[in-house]
Structure 1
Amino acid sequence: MLSDNIFKYADSNYQSNFLKTSKKYSFMRDLATIAMNHWGINDSKPELIKFRENAIFKVFFNNSSPAVIRIHRSGYHSNIELQSELSWMRSVVEIGIKAPQVIPAINGQDIIPIRYGPSGETWQVDVLSWIDGDPVGILEGNGINDALNQPLWVYEEIGNLAASLHNHTSNWKKPDFFERHSWNLESILGEDPIWGRFWELKTLTISEKKLLLHASSKARENLCSYITSSENYGLIHADLIPENILVNKGSIRLIDFDDCGFGWHLFDLATITFFFYGEPQFNCIKDAVLRGYQQKRKLPDKTIENCLLFHLIRGFTYLGWIQTRADSESAQLLAPEFIRLTCLIAEEYLTT
């Protein structure tokens, strides 16, 4: 699912310490080894690729074909929600978008529940085909610099790809069982946001919290007046960050549909450029994304003037993510930059 180069951008000390000392890593590696049996994989050693929301391991089938084992974060999605994600992924591949293919287990099921660990917890596991390519960038370490230095044609193609996804979901007939969460007003700015109460993040200063609450109040007013229709809202990927977009020989490939749900199309587009905010390249990259998007799909009304709003609420979700995952190494590593960016956007939003 991810390139072999996925870790090359990450801070080497963080990577080394995590791999050598994390009991959680050892636990997940052993769980991946058990899961391999359900797919008939016998002689492969699981190789950790990514461990943030899910634990992602690269393995090899007995015919040497590479694949990815995903061990899902416990309690994050129901089986129906995961099956819904996989059904959408299948449909995306069918229309020619380069994305992982779903590989059923020996028993024909896409998702295998495995009881493992001292508490007898049940873990959801699935397997996807490997996708070759280098990530546009990585959030940890200096990986965003790589994303900032990508040629603009890459971002035009990413915008084009986002439009293709939105076009597809506008017309796709979902299975009757289909169920995914929503990225909407209440799930982002309500009392119980889907990723957590960003305003309760303990590392926020008093002034930062005051700034963000002020900005969220204005954002709520603006979103209440934002007319939602099939033209600007629908099933979205919701995680089009640099490391989930791969480049291979001029081809753009898409991975990690784990956060997909119903939301504004501009929320999807804001995700692409959020981490570049305040950088000299930001406007050029944003314009390239929108230019590519318009080649396939009309932009929602008042797109330019609403971009800042959707960058802001994207930032709120990231702060909520940190708040509910305070014990995660990734959350601790990413927190300072997430806070800095969201406060920067909030300041500009309140002055426009």
Structure 2
Amino acid sequence: MVSKELLGRAAESFGFEVDTLVFLSNSCNEVYRFSKNNQLYILRLSEKPPAYVKKIKAEVDWVSYLVQRGVRASLPIQTSDQQFVAVYREQDQCYIATAFRMASGRFFDKNNLQLWGPPIFNKWGETMGIMHLLTKSYTAADAAAQRDDWGTWNMDNPYLQQGRYHILLEKLKSLENTIASLPKDTQSYGLIHNDFHPYNFHIDNDDITVFDFDDSIYGWFALDIAIATTHAVWWGSPAEDRKSKNDFAKRFLDEFLTGYFKHNDLDTYWVKQIPMFMDYRNLCSYFWWLNSWDGDERRLSEFQQTAITQAINLIQSGQRFDGCDIQL
């Protein structure tokens, strides 16, 4: 947790009262809610090296571009000196602060028909379709400050080079090799959200507002669609068995792509790649746990150990992950 002094500096930068701060989460970033002039905002504090400031400036530039052209997204706000980021140092660490208008509405709820179902899936796809259409004509304001391109994992953890974990790693490398060989052009590849899942948008009546663009990269549009679908299956499938998840994935994509194609075209070749990208996203989830793992299996939760065993069994039997075994 950052110090009260640093939070006070952030409050001064963005012009709000520090006692309005409410802590929300601390995973990749430290996130707070605050109020200013009867409006709610989000403060995000990222512990990153100073060179990363350019990446965050590129992020907020793209979000601003999208909002200006009609996308419902959490708009970044400026500091008192008209900057979109504020940089602080504390105990030899660099913290980059950004602030955004808080999205109206609520998170999804798969047990509430107003917050989960075909109309939401359609609107979700429509929003992504608009974003992909707009990214085709987007040029970064600063050529030296751009988001990264998709790349392979730098996996040098020795504990993943042996035993059953090696099976996961080899499957990841195989999928990465397939993805790296795919063509790139402006009709299939551009700046994407890269994490547009159900906990990164709010639902307000018939609209959704997307936020949390800090994973945005230059990547394939089909990958962005696959990420949304994968997370929809994880958290929104009506049942946990394989058949239910595969059936749900197909129904979800039928609605999602109907909304998507209202605004952006995607060649059939790329639509057919979505299940492969879903498989890749599923596999990546294990390395979020394991990338910095110290080899002590006692440090893995029972859920993680069970999930790893199930994943290895699927890989060894030549099957895709649940939800990915669909034809498009």
Instruction: Give the structure-1-normalised TM-score.
Output: 0.75
Pairing of 1:324-343 with structure 2 (within 5 A): 324=291, 335=304, 339=308
Q: Which residue of 1 aligns with 2:63?
A: 89
Deviation digits for residues 170-194 of structure 1, max 9, x if unmatched? 01232133311111xxx22xxxx2x
1:131 to 90, 103, 110: 103
Pairing of 1:210-221 with structure 2 (within 5 A): 210=167, 212-221=168-177
Aligned counterparts of 2:207 and 2:63: Cα–Cα separation in 1? 18
> Which structure: greater helix fraction?
1
- 2:188–2:270 CA contact under 8 A, matched in 1: no
- Aligned partner letter, 1:111: V
Quote the RMSD (CA, aligned, Å). 3.4
1:82 CA displacement: 0.7
Does 2:15 match 1:34?
Answer: no
1:284 CA displacement: 0.9
Alpha-carbon spacing, 1:96–1:107, altered in 2? closer, same or farther (3 Å) = same
Pairing of 1:1-352 with structure 2 (within 5 A): 24=1, 27=2, 31-42=6-17, 44-61=19-36, 63-75=37-49, 78-116=52-90, 119-136=91-108, 150-177=116-143, 178-183=145-150, 187-188=151-152, 193=153, 196-197=154-155, 200=157, 206-207=163-164, 209-210=166-167, 212-275=168-231, 276=233, 278=242, 279=245, 280-324=247-291, 335=304, 339=308, 346=315, 347-349=318-320
SS of equivalent to 1:72: strand
Alpha-carbon spacing, 1:38–1:344, altered in 2? closer, same or farther (3 Å) = farther
Deviation digits for residues 208-258 of structure 1, max 9, x if unmatched? 531x34433542453354222111111101011110021101111100010
- Aligned partner letter, 1:93: V
Alignment length, in residue pairs? Answer: 304
Alpha-carbon spacing, 1:51–1:76, altered in 2? closer, same or farther (3 Å) = farther
- 2:126–2:261 CA contact under 8 A, matched in 1: yes
Alpha-carbon spacing, 1:340–1:111, altered in 2? closer, same or farther (3 Å) = farther
Alpha-carbon spacing, 1:261–1:333, altered in 2? closer, same or farther (3 Å) = farther
1:325 CA displacement: 5.7
1:28 CA displacement: 5.8
Aligned counterparts of 2:301 and 2:10: Cα–Cα separation in 1? 29
SS of equivalent to 2:280: helix
Aligned counterparts of 1:343 and 1:305: Cα–Cα separation in 2? 25
- 1:238–1:271 CA contact under 8 A, matched in 2: yes
- 1:159–1:293 CA contact under 8 A, matched in 2: yes
1:300 CA displacement: 3.0
For structure 1, the residue ranges without an aligned partner over 5 or more in a row are 1-23, 138-143
SS of equivalent to 2:255: helix
SS of equivalent to 1:182: coil
Aligned counterparts of 1:160 and 1:238: Cα–Cα separation in 2? 16
1:120 CA displacement: 2.9
Aligned counterparts of 1:257 and 1:338: Cα–Cα separation in 2? 28
Deviation digits for residues 156-179 of structure 1, max 9, x if unmatched? 111111111110010123213331
Deviation digits for residues 107-166 of structure 1, max 9, x if unmatched? 2221111122xx3322111111111121226xxxxxx7779x811111111111111111
Any runs of at least 4 consecutive aligned residues in structure 1 with deviations exceeding 6 A, and if so which?
144-147, 331-334
1:56 CA displacement: 1.1
